[in-house]
Amino acid sequence: MTPTPPPASPRPNAERRHAERLHAEYKVPGGKLLVVDVEIDGDSLSRVQLSGDFFLEPESALEAIETALIGSPVTSGADTLTQRVQAALPAETQMVGLSVPAIATVVRRALATTTDWRDHRFGLVHRDPESPARHMALDELLTREVAAGRRGPTLRVWEWDRAAIIIGVFQSLANEVDSEAAAAEGIEVVRRISGGGAMFVEPGNTITWSLIVPESLVQGLSFVESYAFLDDWVIQALGDMGINAWYVPINDITSPGGKIAGAAQKRLDGAVLHHVTMAYDIDADKLTRVLRIGREKLSDKGTTSAGKRVDPLKRQTGLDRDTIIARMIDSFAARFSLSSEPLTEAELAAADALVETKFSRDDWTAKVP
């Protein structure tokens, strides 16, 4: 396989300040597209033009915002930009589809070393079922490959060959998992490299994927903003299937029928691993037997008692799991550049080495006892 070449690297800020105009776009999560064009004079903004498909009243508020940003140092953080804009807004200002923090974010992205979704070609990896430990290894390996430029940004859809519990890197094994119950059920326990909470999966009961991108794609966004930014296509894909879904900070996607998904992230050497698990049709009774925390959090997953299914996707779409996956892939491909990019033998061998040296070892799984 010939690795997908990364896009041309954005120029460093010091060089970009000599450009006549800097440009950035930001799709506000749950809102509208916000575009900014800025000009730099020395070390401060000399001209700011905001545009987009948002709604803003009174119309004069736009000029007030742009004027307030002029003179801002190019090193200004989000808080400083937010304060300048907030102080300049007319008292009667109403915003729909944008917010003051979003304005600060798009300006920061213009001043940073950023790329846009359209600057990248994404490779799709969707393989036959893998072991839980191999999934953990593939996530780490492919993130490092993207960071090194040996592989382009990647969307990887997971298939499971057995039931598993996947705990976050900072979670206590004993506090999260009833190990005796898990062993009795034949459920394997593995630890991933990202934070967040425990997942329970069985083949066919969840939809899990990893989105691995250069850090330049989320440059200028806060950690929380990057979750919403990388999940926005999912919200749109669910909407295409008739699900009214929305993002809940910091890492959840929910709907009127209950929580649909949870995300986690890890940043390695200049790349971002963003992986998400969606509930398709989970055995809630088994979940409560093997996950200690699950006994208190079932209501967060769309059910209030054991013996029920956690099935927001199945129930709300009426579609089988494979069809949902296919539609989500189609939705991603319709918005961005996506083509199949199989794993190489070298990548698979390197992943298996990580399984042996890390992800199958008790000292990793029980690193937080």
> Is the per-residue pLDDT at 2 higher than 80?
no
As a whole number of angstroms, the distance between CA 56 and CA 97 comes to 9
Nearest CA among 310, 314, 311, 277 for reference residue 294:
310
**Counts of helices then strands in the chain (DSSP H, E):** 14, 18
For 236-279, write each residue's pLDDT tens digit: 999 999 999 999 988 999 998 889 999 999 999 999 999 999 99
Q: Please name each of the domains of the chain with its CATH number.
A: 13-111 (3.30.390.50), 117-365 (3.30.930.10)
Kindly state the helix (H) or strand (E) to which residue 95 belongs, with its residue range.
strand 94-96
Distances (CA, A) of 139 to 13, 125, 144, 169, 230: 31, 12, 9, 13, 16
Mean pLDDT of 16-42: 83
Helix axes 321-335, 223-240, angle to 10 degrees: 110
State residue 89 phi and psi, 5-degree precision: -70, 135
Share of the chain above pLDDT 90, in %: 80
For 320-366, write each residue's pLDDT tens digit: 999 999 999 999 999 999 999 999 999 999 999 999 999 999 999 99
DSSP 8-state assignment for residue 6: P
The SS3 call for residue 231 is: helix
pLDDT band at 296 (very low <50, low <70, confident <90, very high): low
